[in-house]
């Protein structure tokens, strides 16, 4: 498992939480009970303003606050709304994901695949629920659940917590402005498939903004 990006710049409150999360994950973050333990740990830790301050300090060094996209194992990436903004629905394939709101507010929508046409590859994507995240809030997306993120304040900062390196997964990204999706390989930095999709249970869902899908290829 990988180490913090910069131990000298990561102060103790956040460091201790991250180390404990890495210990809980061990070599198999999909063991029964692990996600629940991670959520309990982070919900308690991020009530502490010192932990949130430590995370913000870590952002000054690198977005990869703990681990990195390119390394295997547990990692934490900091995301600033002013730099990335809205992100289209996307999942982490067979990996779970945790989003922690450190500062500001964020609207987070969960989606799930209702069905897949085996011949055409067309997908029906169903809105499951949504939550408004405030500083200290923690959200969990199970494997296969896509999350869509709308920053509600310019100072919004959240942490994207992953159980595996992004380079090891195929991320499904849904562009709601076009009704097309791609299967994105972080390892190859290219789309390795895709198709069309429609949505259900989203009649009152606002129109999507300019999507991340066009910026991280």
Report the mean per-residue pLDDT for the chain: 89
- How far apart are alpha carbons 79 and 41 in whole angstroms? 20
Say if residue 10's pLDDT is above 60.
Answer: no
With bands split at pLDDT 50, 70 and 90, how would you rate the model's confidence at 24? very high
Rg, C-alpha atoms of the chain: 17
Q: What is the pLDDT of residues 64-79, one digit of tens each?
A: 888 887 777 788 999 9
Q: Poorest-confidence range of 71-80, 145-154, 169-178?
A: 71-80
Q: What is the pLDDT of residues 40-65, one digit of tens each?
A: 999 999 999 999 999 998 888 778 88
User: Which of 183, 215, 165, 186 shows the shortest CA–CA distance to 64?
Assistant: 165
Q: Which residues pair with 98 in a beta bridge?
A: 140, 161
- How far apart are alpha carbons 56 and 175 in whole angstroms? 30
Give pLDDT, residue 132: 98
Q: How many CB atoms neighbour CB 183 within 10 A? A: 16
Q: Which residues contact 183 (CB under 8 A, 6 or more apart)?
A: 170, 171, 172, 191, 192, 193, 194
Cα–Cα separations (whole angstroms), residue 172 to 13, 84, 183, 195: 34, 18, 5, 11
What the block records as the tokens of 90 is: 């996307």
Cα–Cα separations (whole angstroms), residue 166 to 12, 117, 153, 172, 191: 26, 27, 27, 12, 14
Q: Poorest-confidence range of 9-18, 33-42, 188-197, 207-216?
A: 207-216
Cα–Cα separations (whole angstroms), residue 59 to 48, 96, 137, 159, 210: 18, 23, 18, 10, 24
Instruction: Collapse the DSSP code of 61 into the 3-class scheme (helix H, G, I; strand E, B; otherwise coil) and give the result.
Output: coil
Give pLDDT, residue 81: 87
With bands split at pLDDT 50, 70 and 90, how would you rate the model's confidence at 19? very high
Give pLDDT, residue 58: 86
Q: What is the pLDDT of residues 121-134, one digit of tens each?
A: 999 999 999 999 99
User: Which of 38, 83, 39 shows the shortest CA–CA distance to 59?
Assistant: 83
Say if residue 6's pLDDT is above 70.
Answer: no
User: Which of 59, 60, 32 shows the shortest CA–CA distance to 159?
Assistant: 59
Which residue in the block uniquely carries the two structure tokens 């629920």? 129
- The pTM for the full model equals 0.89
Q: What is the mean pLDDT of residues 164-176?
A: 90
Say if residue 84's pLDDT is above 90.
Answer: no
């Amino acid at each position: 498992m990988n180490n913090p990006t910069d131990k000298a710049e990561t102060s103790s409150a956040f460091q201790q939480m991250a180390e404990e999360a890495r210990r809980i994950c061990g070599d198999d973050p999909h063991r029964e009970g692990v996600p629940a333990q991670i959520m309990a740990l982070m919900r308690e830790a991020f009530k502490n303003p010192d932990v949130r301050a430590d995370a913000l300090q870590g952002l000054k060094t690198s977005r990869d606050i703990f681990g990195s996209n390119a390394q295997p194992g547990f990692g934490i990436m900091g995301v600033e709304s002013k730099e990335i903004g809205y992100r289209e629905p996307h999942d982490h394939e067979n990996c779970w994901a945790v989003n922690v709101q450190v500062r500001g507010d964020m609207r987070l929508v969960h989606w799930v695949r209702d069905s897949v046409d085996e011949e055409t590859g067309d997908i029906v994507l169903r809105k499951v629920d949504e939550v408004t995240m405030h500083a200290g809030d923690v959200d969990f997306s199970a494997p296969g659940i896509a999350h869509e993120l709308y920053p509600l304040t310019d100072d919004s900062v959240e942490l994207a917590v992953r159980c595996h390196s992004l380079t090891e997964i195929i991320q499904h990204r849904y562009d709601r402005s076009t009704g097309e999706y791609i299967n994105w390989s972080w390892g190859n930095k290219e789309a390795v498939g895709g198709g069309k999709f429609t949505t259900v249970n989203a009649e009152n869902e606002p129109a999507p903004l300019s999507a991340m899908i066009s910026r991280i290829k």
